[in-house]
């Protein structure tokens, strides 16, 4: 089936630290991959996307590369800020209006 | 400003009552969606609609109903048949079909007392 797996547990780090959130996927065919972000008390916002292998999505200092050989789409940011504290969801689109979401990772950035 | 408006933001319901959550968009998007979010879980699709007067069941449609009488509006009714309705409900829309690129409202939190 089509599914997304995110690393377990919240991520707590200090301001200006390097952030990585792992995401791996299982899919038939060649899905599009996304990272969505949910700030406290809000809905989700699209952060970045990649539609084919080796594409790199980037936005607001975040990056993720679509790696077909490792079926991964890890999210990275070189220097986080307190304002990056949010829940981050990895997702894949596999057609017919279907998105499979990961469980999300809470990121807490401490000043 | 264009966007998706969900109301109410918080709602309390007694067991056995139906409740309707509103979703309105002024983005001129054709497709609209309802998702359910539970703590520590990803989002699960309840219903979606690609055009007016047409909608399809998602992965967890049992106990829910929708209508799409206007392009701008896609209300969700949580019926008494929904066994575990306490959750955060998110409405979304997309400007292009079949891309996975969604715009979300701010959500409605339903609590059953």
Nearest CA in chain B to A40: B106
Residue A46 has its nearest CB partner, among B48, B102, B105, at B102
Nearest CA in chain A to B88: A43
User: Residue with structure tokens 């949010």?
Assistant: A86
DSSP A94: -
- Residue B36, CA distances (Å) to A70, B30, B70 in order: 30, 21, 22
Q: Is A91 in CB contact (< 8 Å) with chain B?
A: yes
Predicted pLDDT of residue B85? 93
User: Residue with structure tokens 């539609």?
Assistant: A51
Phi, psi angles (nearest 5°) of residue B65: -145, 155
Q: Is A66 in CB contact (< 8 Å) with chain B?
A: no
DSSP A14-76: ETT--EEE-EEEE-SS--EEEEEEE-TTS-EEEEEEE-STT-EEEETTEEEE-BTTTTB--EE
| Cβ within 8 Å of A, B 5-64 | 6, 31, 33, 40-45, 48, 50, 56
Q: CA B75 to CA B83: how far, in whole Å?
A: 20
Q: CA B49 to CA B56: how far, in whole Å?
A: 6
Q: CA A110 to CA A41: how far, in whole Å?
A: 19
Predicted pLDDT of residue A7? 87
Least reliable range by pLDDT among A93-97, B72-76, B100-104: A93-97
Copy the structure tokens of residue A46.
Answer: 């699209």
What average pLDDT does chain B have? Answer: 93
Q: CA B113 to CA B110: how far, in whole Å?
A: 10
DSSP B37-104: E-TT--EEEEEEEEETTEEEE-TT-TTEEE--SBTTB--EEE-TT-S---EEEEEEEESSTTS---EE
Does pLDDT of A56 surpass 80?
yes
Split at pLDDT 50, 70, 90, the class of A42 is confident
- How, if at all, do strands B87-94 and B108-112 pair? antiparallel
- The mean pLDDT of B9-30, rounded to a whole number, is 94
Q: CB–CB of A15/A111 below 8 Å?
A: yes
Predicted pLDDT of residue B1? 67
In tens, the pLDDT along B34-61 reads 999 998 888 999 999 999 999 999 999 9
């Amino acid at each position: 089936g089509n599914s997304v797996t995110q690393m377990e547990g919240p991520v707590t780090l200090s301001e200006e630290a390097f952030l990585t959130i792992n995401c791996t996927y299982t899919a038939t065919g060649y899905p599009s991959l996304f990272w969505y972000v949910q700030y406290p008390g809000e809905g989700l916002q699209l952060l970045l996307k990649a539609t084919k292998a080796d594409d790199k999505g980037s936005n607001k200092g975040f990056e993720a590369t679509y790696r077909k050989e490792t079926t991964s789409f890890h999210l990275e940011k070189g220097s986080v800020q307190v304002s990056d504290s949010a829940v981050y969801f990895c997702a894949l689109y596999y057609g017919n209006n279907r998105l499979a979401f990961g469980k999300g990772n809470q990121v807490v950035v401490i000043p | 400003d264009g966007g998706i408006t969900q109301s109410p933001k918080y709602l309390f319901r007694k067991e056995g009552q139906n409740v309707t959550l509103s979703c309105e968009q002024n983005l001129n998007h054709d497709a609209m969606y309802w998702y359910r979010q539970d703590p520590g879980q990803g989002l699960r699709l309840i219903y979606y609609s690609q055009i007016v007067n047409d909608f399809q069941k998602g992965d967890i449609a049992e106990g829910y109903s929708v209508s799409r009488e206007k392009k701008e509006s896609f209300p969700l009714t949580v019926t008494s048949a929904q066994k575990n309705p306490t959750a955060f409900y998110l409405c979304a829309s997309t400007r292009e079909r079949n891309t996975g690129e969604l715009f979300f409202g701010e959500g409605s939190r339903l609590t059953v007392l």
